[in-house]
Amino acid sequence: MLVGLTVVMAALFLVVIRHSDTARNQEINQKVYRNLAARLIDEHILEGETADPSAVRKVFDRIRVVNPRIDVYLLDAAGQVVAASGQDAIKHASVDLTPIRRFLKGDDELPIVGDDPSEPVRKRVFSVAPVALSGSESGYLYLVLRGVSRDTLAQQIKQSYVLRETLWLLGCGLAVALIASALILTLMTRPLRQLGAVMDKFRRSGFAEQPEPLRLPTDEVGKLTDTFNHMADRILAQMTALQKTDAMRRELVANISHDLRTPLASLQGYIETLHLKSDQLAPEEKRSYLEIALKQTEQLSGLVARLFDLAKLDSGQMTAALEPCALGDLVQDVMQEFELAASSKGIDLRCSIRPDLPLVMADVGLMERVLRNLVENALRYTRSGGTVSVMAAPVADGALVEVADTGIGIPEAELPRIFERFYRVEKCRDLAAGSAGLGLAISKRILDLHQSRISVTSAPGRTVFRFVLAYAPKRAAAGAVQEAADLRPAEAAPAKRAVPSLAYPMAER
């Protein structure tokens, strides 16, 4: 393209040079001979009062010695050729007077070209002066200045040193411009080529390999590179996330299948035994088998309910209906549920709630679920004689809730993973032991809905789960207390919750 452009420019320059060279020649010619006609009239023609054709012949004879390229014509007032110096035949008997008038008016914009009676197509510069013709007619002495011969460009160049010099300089200029443009273009497109190569490599790697970092100047290409780098990072992150999600999905399906298959197989076994050997089984055995089967179905429905909860939490379908509630009542309520289980296992269940604890913002149903999961875990992993305690106390940004136990503890390496769904520290524990590995995952997501983060510290003999709940705004809290007082009938048992509404029907185990 650059070479093409240069060639076009060179051709244009040649046309311009040729045109301006001709025009300049004509201008000079006309300037030099501008007054020639008038002078000739004064000095040579008007020997009498008028000019006659023979006078023209005389003038021509005189000037052809000096300049043979001047033709002399005598025109009448209408521009008709009255006499010609002419060795050339007249091909055009009249001359257009418009340029002649312009000339005589003293127009400075030379060259002014007019008709050449001997060559009708060509226009030539001229010199003209009014002259009186015989018979009191006025006319013009019209000198056509032929000037330089009309050679081809090649001939012109060959003949003119100046033209050759000019063209040589022009060629050099164009060559320099061509080289400079090519150089600039190469420099400008180099970063683009680098970027293109990196992009291509990234594409060939299936968008999986981190592209080499490109450090380019802060111009447009730099910005483009920056954008590409960000885009590549984003693509890589998304690819990794996709792979992770895919792996999680596969793991999830495997876990669910395993957790459902085991109790289902056992359930089927007991029911088949009852069905086939009904006659041979003692009533005691039948009852025991039925009890086991019932327990299995309970556990199965519990698992399905937890999976359902988790799916709803994951998909964002479940929202927390936050409202002011008394944490003390809520904790007491949950503790009561586990009192029997704790005493039968020989575990001391303690509860320590600061009485001056302000109301917190929570979804009562969901928060009960969190506490239930944590206390259930604590009881499950604590041996007889141990202690499980729930504490709630005010801290700077809300109420701190701690569920602690003196149980077996969680190995430090496992701590980061226990909130993942289906994650169990001891892999052999299965649903039959009441452990699906979903409780903490559900609790974490519920606390996410409360803008709270659950944390854990653990060592053998002491495991503590903590989270902080934000206080209810003062005015909302006052309203809730009033509402709770209104709701509490005088003779009824003390209300367990400040606000009894449940936003979400919980799947009870």
Ligand X SMILES: Nc1ncnc2c1ncn2[C@@H]1O[C@H](COP(=O)(O)OP(=O)(O)OP(=O)(O)O)[C@@H](O)[C@H]1O
> Which residue lies nearest ligand X, judged by its C-beta?
439
Q: Which stretch binds Mg ion (CB under 5 A): 78-86, 102-110, 372-380, 471-479?
A: 372-380
Cis preceding linkage at 111, omega within 30: yes
What sections of 132-278 are H helices per DSSP?
153-159, 161-204, 220-276
Site track 429-468 with ligand X (rule: CB under 6 A), x = hit: -----xxxxxxxx---------------------x-----
**Which residue lies nearer to Mg ion by CB, 326 or 403?**
403
Q: Of 296 and 377, which has the nearer Cβ to ligand X?
A: 377
Binding pattern to Mg ion, positions 323-362, x when CB under 5 A? ----------------------------------------
Give the shortest CB-462-to-ligand X separation in angstroms.
10
Of the candidate residues 419, 439, 444, 452, the single one contacting Mg ion (CB under 5 A): 439
Please give the Cα distance from 172 to 266 (Å, whole number): 97
381 binds, among Mg ion, ligand X, none (CB under 5 to 8 A by kind): ligand X
Q: Is 425 in the site for ligand X (CB under 6 A)?
A: yes
Q: Which of 405, 447, 468, 480 binds ligand X (CB under 6 A)?
A: 405
Specify the residue, 36 or 388, whose C-beta has the smaller distance to ligand X: 388
Task: Tell me which amino acid residue 63 is.
Answer: I
Site string for Mg ion, 386-425 (x = CB under 5 A): ----------------------------------------
Q: How far is the CB of 441 from ligand X (least distance, A)?
A: 6
Min CB(350)–Mg ion separation in Å: 20
Neighbours of 388 (CB within 10 A): 28
The answer to whether the CB of 507 falls within 8 A of the CB of 305 is yes
Beta carbon of residue 293, minimum distance to ligand X (angstroms, whole number): 20
Measured CA to CA, the distance from residue 485 to residue 329 in angstroms comes to 14
Q: Which does 378 bind (CB under 5 to 8 A by kind): Mg ion, ligand X, none?
A: ligand X
Both tokens assigned to 348? 């001391």
Residues 355 to 384: which contact ligand X by CB under 6 A?
373, 377-378, 381
Alpha-carbon torsion angle 148, 149, 155, 158, nearest 10: -30
Residues numbered 149 to 168 that lie near ligand X (CB under 6 A) are none
DSSP label of 472:
P
What is the SS3 string spanning 482-500? Answer: HHHHHHCCCCCCCCCCCCC
Residues 290-309 that bind ligand X (CB under 6 A): 306
Distance between CA atoms of residues 152 and 18, nearest Å: 10
Supply the DSSP string of 251-268, one letter for each residue.
HHHHHHHHHHHHHHHHHH
User: What six digits make up the tokens of 18?
Assistant: 């040729």
Which residue's beta carbon is nearest to the bound Mg ion?
Answer: 439
Specify whether the CB–CB gap between 327 and 469 falls below 8 A.
yes
Minimal distance, residue 487 CB to ligand X, in Å: 33
Q: Is the CB of residue 43 less than 8 Å from the CB of residue 129?
A: no
Smallest distance from the beta carbon of 248 to ligand X, in angstroms?
Answer: 15
Under the binding rule (CB under 5 A), the answer on residue 377 touching Mg ion is yes
The interaxial angle of helices 220-276 and 283-315, nearest 10 deg, is 170
CB atoms within 10 A of CB 453: 11
Token duo for residue 472: 């209810």
Instruction: Pick what 299 binds: ligand X, Mg ion, none; C-beta below 5 to 8 Å, kind-dependent.
Output: none
Query: Residue 329: which of 377, 371, 379, 387 has the closest Cα?
Result: 371
Interface contacts to Mg ion, rule CB under 5 A: 377, 439
* Positions in the binding site for ligand X (CB under 6 A): 306, 373, 377-378, 381, 405, 407-410, 418, 423-426, 434-441, 463
